[in-house]
């Protein structure tokens, strides 16, 4: 068979959506070029564990060339796609031009600061490995500095940690930070007065975890308080200069740490496509996840705007990206056989978030769980979904160690 004559599928992005669609096209009669700016697939839901010194990056990221080593119909290219010409069917990557018969855009999202430059410049974010490591180093360095600071006011500002956004990422980060301080730092800095340490979770809305049912919101708030996290609702930020958070109601908080988890928007390349975009820069697709005027282009995952049967936009979640990927691979196989395509329907697998050791909330099969059972479900699912046997074992060992000995493993301050 002349491989060059096979339809060429270009997939941009090897996150949850891109990697899944590429895997599911294994053995399909196509040539696949998979492009990503990184040479690894990143398990983003555990990024906060890097920031709070629980895991190292190599435990939640896996080399793409290893993942696709045995897949004969795929070529991986590491590079940044900077231009996509939908009329002439090519993408530009670091100066190379790559033509396609079908394009699958799985470029994911980026942090949305809603135009608040001061927060973007001075705050921390959890969207990639570099920023998570930067956050870890910053947190650990602050403890070193606070430990020798004699001015009580300065010390309190160093020991005040603000997390913004009470969705799952903010809740997970604040809970884990609370635990790091009370269980681990308390042992490393025995002379530090822990009463001076504050972890604040700020939320512009009127509740934590707005997408969750009432009983789980209440359980989340209770669990967070047990981890010594102070929750401030209806707290809208306007500015952060690296020293002080300014709130819309005029309130101020002295802090050297602001971790922003309050917004995501589609990756920048979607804005340059010249197609119809919904809020947060997501590409509006038809029922088959295609760009309406370009049926040869599919958009999946965080970059796609798709509504459920009630007209609500699907959330930016790995579960959505993976289901869309599976679906797109099946539709491409149908296309190859000149069969009719199926419209996409999302099957909601439930909700799950952890708030630290022994504490999580879950909504599965119509039932709500909180506390230890939910946490066990969270641990099992996250270990199962991590790629690579070695990674699974290492993460499990780290967590077990942490669990039994209250000891986060990765407390090294490194050069970035
Ligand atoms: C801290 C955090 C916690 C989360 N927790 C959960 C959770 O508990 N459960 C859950 O379901 N979801 C969670 N999510 C959301 C989930 O990670 C995303 O919804 C999911 O990653 C989206 O998959 P995707 O394939 O659309 O994009 P991504 O997984 O983000 O992948 C996009 C890929 O495209 C690449 N890329 C982007 N632009 C370009 C370009 N121009 N050129 C080349 N490559 C490019 C990127 O490098 C990346 O590898 C979390 C996200 C974060 C950040």
Token pair listed for 390: 């070695």
| Residue 284 β-bridge partners | 305
- Give the ligand 1 atom nearest the CA of 19: 25
CA 261-211-269 angle, to 5 degrees, is 50
Q: Which long-range contacts (CB under 8 A, 24 or more apart) does 365-370 make?
A: 368/213, 368/215, 368/216, 368/219, 370/215, 370/216, 370/219, 370/220, 370/223
- Give the ligand 1 atom nearest the CA of 127: 53
CB count within 10 Å of CB 310 equals 5
φ/ψ of 382, rounded to 5, equals -70, -40
Q: Using an 8 Å Cβ cutoff, are 75 and 33 in contact? A: yes
Distance 317 CA to ligand 1 centre (A): 8
CB count within 10 Å of CB 390 equals 12
Which has the closest alpha carbon to 50: 301, 398, 403, 397? 398
- CA–CA separation, 54 vs 64, rounded Å? 24
Distance 198 CA to ligand 1 centre (A): 30
Residue 162 Rama label (left phi>0; alpha psi -120 to 50; beta) = beta
- Give the ligand 1 atom nearest the CA of 317: 19
The model's pTM is 0.94
- CA–CA separation, 286 vs 291, rounded Å? 6
pLDDT of residue 23: 97
- CA–CA separation, 237 vs 216, rounded Å? 25
Beta strands in 183-302, from DSSP E residues, in sequence order: 198-202, 229-232, 237-240, 244-247, 252-254, 257-260, 264-266, 283-284, 290-291, 294-299
pLDDT of residue 86: 97
Residue 180 Rama label (left phi>0; alpha psi -120 to 50; beta) = alpha
- CA–CA separation, 312 vs 278, rounded Å? 12
Which has the closest alpha carbon to 113: 279, 265, 268, 301? 265
pLDDT of residue 220: 96
- Give the ligand 1 atom nearest the CA of 20: 25
Distance 127 CA to ligand 1 centre (A): 8
Q: Using an 8 Å Cβ cutoff, are 36 and 80 in contact? A: no
Distance 131 CA to ligand 1 centre (A): 14
pLDDT of residue 394: 83
Distance 316 CA to ligand 1 centre (A): 9
Residue identified by tokens 């506390």 is: 371
Distance 341 CA to ligand 1 centre (A): 26
| Residue 170 β-bridge partners | none
Pocket test for ligand 1, best of 10, 21, 22, 108 (most atoms within 8 A of CB): 108
Average pLDDT by consecutive 10-residue portion of the chain (416 residues)?
Answer: 84 97 97 98 94 91 94 97 97 96 98 97 97 96 94 95 97 94 87 91 97 94 95 97 96 97 96 93 97 97 94 94 97 96 94 89 91 91 83 82 72 77
Pocket test for ligand 1, best of 10, 11, 13, 269 (most atoms within 8 A of CB): 13
Catalytic machinery residues: 172
Q: Using an 8 Å Cβ cutoff, are 294 and 90 in contact? A: no
Token pair listed for 190: 């025995």
Q: What Cα–Cα distance (Å) separates residue 73 from each residue in 28, 97, 179, 221?
A: 8, 20, 46, 49
- CA–CA separation, 51 vs 61, rounded Å? 14
Pocket test for ligand 1, best of 10, 15, 280, 324 (most atoms within 8 A of CB): 15
Residues 6 or more apart whose Cβ sits within 8 Å of residue 407: 184, 401
Strands 102-105 and 294-299: parallel
φ/ψ of 65, rounded to 5, equals -65, -30
Pocket of ligand 1 (CB under 6 A): 12-18, 35-38, 44-45, 47-48, 80-81, 106-109, 126-127, 168-169, 267, 269, 301-303, 316-319, 321
């Amino acid at each position: 068979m002349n491989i060059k004559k096979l339809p060429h599928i270009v997939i941009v992005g090897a996150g949850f959506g891109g990697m899944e669609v590429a895997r599911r096209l294994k053995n399909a009669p196509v040539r696949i070029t998979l492009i990503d700016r990184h040479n690894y697939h990143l398990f983003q839901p555990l990024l906060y564990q890097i920031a709070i010194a629980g895991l190292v990056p190599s435990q939640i990221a896996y080399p793409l060339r290893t993942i696709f080593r045995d897949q004969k119909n795929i070529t991986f290219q590491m590079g940044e796609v900077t231009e996509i010409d939908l009329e002439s069917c090519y993408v530009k990557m670091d100066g190379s031009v790559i033509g396609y018969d079908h394009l699958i855009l799985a470029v994911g999202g980026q942090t949305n600061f809603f135009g608040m430059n001061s927060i973007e410049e001075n705050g921390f974010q959890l969207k990639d490995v570099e920023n998570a490591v930067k956050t870890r180093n910053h947190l650990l360095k602050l403890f070193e500095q606070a430990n020798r600071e004699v001015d009580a006011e300065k010390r309190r500002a160093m020991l005040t940690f603000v997390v913004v956004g009470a969705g799952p990422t903010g809740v997970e980060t604040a809970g884990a930070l609370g635990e790091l301080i009370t269980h681990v730092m308390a042992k490393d800095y025995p002379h530090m007065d822990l009463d001076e340490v504050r972890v604040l979770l700020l939320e512009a809305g009127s509740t934590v975890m707005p997408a969750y049912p009432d009983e789980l919101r209440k359980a989340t708030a209770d669990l967070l308080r047990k981890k010594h996290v102070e929750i401030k609702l209806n707290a809208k930020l306007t500015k952060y200069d690296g020293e002080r958070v300014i709130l819309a109601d005029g309130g101020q908080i002295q802090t050297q740490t602001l971790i922003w988890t309050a917004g995501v928007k589609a990756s920048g390349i979607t804005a340059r496509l010249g197609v119809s975009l919904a809020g947060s820069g997501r590409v509006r697709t038809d029922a088959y996840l295609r760009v309406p005027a370009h049926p040869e282009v599919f958009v999946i995952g965080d970059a796609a705007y798709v509504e459920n049967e009630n007209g609500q936009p699907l959330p930016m979640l790995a579960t959505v990206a993976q289901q869309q990927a599976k679906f797109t691979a099946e539709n491409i196989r149908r296309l190859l056989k000149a069969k009719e395509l199926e419209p996409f329907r999302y099957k909601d697998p439930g909700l799950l978030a952890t708030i630290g050791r022994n504490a999580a909330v879950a909504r599965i099969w119509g039932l709500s769980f909180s506390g230890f059972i939910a946490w066990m479900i969270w641990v099992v699912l996250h270990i199962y979904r991590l790629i690579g046997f070695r990674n699974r074992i290492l993460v499990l060992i780290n967590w077990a160690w942490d669990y039994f000995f209250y000891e986060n493993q990765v407390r090294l301050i490194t050069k970035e």
